[in-house]
Amino acid sequence: MAILEEPIKEQLHLKNYIDGEWVESEGERKDVVNPANGKTIATVPISTEDEINEAVEAAKDAYHDWRRTPPLARVRCLFRLKELLEEHFEEVSRIQTMEHGKTIDESRGETRRGIEMVEVATGIPSLMMGYNLEDIATGIDEYLIRQPLGVFGIIAPFNFPFMVPLWFAPFAVATGNCIVLKPSSEDPISQVKILELAEEAGIPPGVWNIVHGGRTVVSGMLDHPDIKGVCFVGSTPVGRDVIYKRCGETGKRVIAMCGAKNFALVMPDANLDRTIAACMTSFYGNTGQRCLANANLVVVGEGLSEQEYDAFYKKVVDAFVAAAKKIRMGYGLDDTVHMGPIRDKKKKQNVLNYIEKGIAAGATLTLDGRQFEIVGDLPDTCFIGPTVFEDVTLDMAIARDEIFGPVANMMRARNLAEAIDMIHDVPFGNAASLFTQNGKWAREFQYNVQCGNIGINTGIAAPMAFFPFSGMKDSFFGTLHGQGREAIRFFTESKVVIQRWF
Ligand code: NAD
């Protein structure tokens, strides 16, 4: 066991970044704790209403010049930022592991995905182009131009502290908008690092601001008349009842990407080795704290006799449990570890409560994550091992609610249609996976399932930066999604010009 060198050696005192300056907040301070060893690695301010207002003012002022900066000049800053992120790739990855708890491999994957957003946004000079038609009537031409809107707010969750704000920030800035970003106060350090690099990359003061904090900052954004739109990623109650509702009332554009309860369906012809390997990263990757994580595994008995189906179910579950037992848990900076801790004690308690609920509802606890070993000498405050429930039915809370931890439910469906109905029975529609070698089943699945991100023989249906990150039902509130061309439409207004000359 070798722990990689920690990039954070002394406790950091985080500040807001407003108008190109790192400024002290008047607000109270909160500890940022490394969940693997319980050490406080930073303190972060819970900023005040005046501070969010100040940041919006700075962004509004900066907008005047930034929108007039040619797109090619704007993206030169992003090219430079991409280079700097590559240079600091390992450092920012290790920071994520320290602030969040995920393994170093997971952090490196997150860094790569985040950098890809910057890469795609550098294509703005082409991607932002409008279109035209000559002679819509004799001698009259019509064309569409896309223009930025002003200031956008970005509100981020804890589970991908580096990547999620980058689903929006590079697209917003490249299209000529200015932003005020509120990272999760639970793990805000990697966003601070990005801003240090953005400053070095030449992003002008006021264009990309950070205001740390919680509800006060969010309310300040939602109520501010100069914020034109809000991008939120987080839980459904906050996304739907606070963000989407308030943006409707105040007439702001909104992308609210929310919670999930995703299903993986395993068909009788699936390649079992590959399916189980994909399921391990899907169900237990990021310690289950992923909006694309699968949580319910349905073994589908399409075309099998009762006897064959029982045998197939047993084979899948035995293989799943055997693989889950091999997962090594510990500090994510130990690169032999497969799974890190849950982000904090409160979240761990929430997962433990769900395990109790599952038992009380009559599910069978086949693998008990409450009994685990940790690699290395660490306090066990935030750890919880891979958990497997069987005999789970759709009326149980463990099957319907987002647990956001390493808990897998084994379920059964006699055929594909029944399994798809099960997916539709839960209120969420973020992602769903099918494991099969049958193209007809795959098409039927893709055609019918009411989920925004579909995986065929993949466990984590994460769209690349040049595709929208979709989501349906209680997993998404809004119209246009983050990433790719939809983000460009979200961050721009379409103006149509009809022109004739006498
Ligand atoms: P959360 O809803 O608790 O917090 C998200 C953000 O909102 C944070 O910045 C937080 O400070 C702020 N916030 C929290 N409560 C608030 C309130 N009452 N009023 C105003 N602001 C508030 O979510 P989280 O626990 O940080 O993140 C996990 C959730 O995010 C999960 O539900 C997960 O599925 C979801 N998520 C969704 C996607 C997606 O693409 N759909 C991606 C990542 C995470």
Domains of the chain: 12-258+475-500 (3.40.605.10), 262-456 (3.40.309.10)
SS3 44: strand
Of 32, 52, 218, 232, which is best to mutate to test ligand 1, by the most ligand atoms within 8 angstroms of its C-beta? 218
Of 185, 211, 238, which is best to mutate to test ligand 1, by the most ligand atoms within 8 angstroms of its C-beta? 238
pLDDT at 380: 80
Specify which residues 263 forms β-bridges with: 296, 432
SS3 135: strand
- With beta carbons less than 8 A apart as the criterion, state whether 15 and 29 touch: no
Q: According to DSSP H, which parts of 361-438 are helical?
A: 397-400, 416-425
Q: How far is the CA of 93 from the centre of ligand 1 (A)?
A: 21
CB of 438 within 6 A of ligand 1: the answer is no
Alpha-carbon distances, residue 123 vs 207, 231, 493 (angstroms)? 19, 21, 18
Q: CA gyration radius for the chain? A: 24
Q: Residue 392: which of 417, 413, 421 has the closest Cα?
A: 413
Tens-digit pLDDT string for the chain (502 aa):
689 999 999 999 999 999 999 999 999 999 999 999 999 999 999 999 999 999 999 999 999 999 999 999 999 999 999 999 999 999 999 999 999 999 999 999 999 999 999 999 999 999 999 999 999 999 999 999 999 999 999 999 999 999 999 999 999 999 999 999 999 999 999 999 999 999 999 999 999 999 999 999 999 999 999 999 999 999 999 999 999 999 999 999 999 999 999 999 999 999 999 999 999 999 999 999 999 999 999 999 999 999 999 999 999 999 999 999 999 999 999 999 999 999 999 999 999 999 999 999 999 999 999 999 999 989 888 999 999 999 999 999 999 999 999 999 999 999 999 999 999 999 999 999 999 999 999 999 999 999 999 999 999 999 999 999 999 999 999 999 999 999 999 999 999 999 999 9
pLDDT at 1: 62
Q: Per this entry, what is the length of the chain? A: 502
- CA end-to-end distance (rounded Å), the chain: 79
Ligand 1 atom closest to Cα of 482?
Answer: 40
Largest CA distance in the chain: 83
Give the Cα separation of 291 and 154 in Å (integer).
Answer: 18
pTM over 0.95: yes
Query: Per the structure block, which two tokens stand in for 360?
Result: 């009380």
Please name the residue whose Cα sits nearest to atom 11 of ligand 1: 214
User: Following CA atoms 57, 60, 62, 67 in sequence, which dihedral angle do they give, to the nearest 10 degrees?
Assistant: 170
Alpha-carbon distances, residue 361 vs 59, 358, 457 (angstroms)? 51, 5, 31
The burial of 43, by beta-carbon neighbours within 10 Å (0-12 exposed, 13-18 middle, 19 or more buried), is given as middle
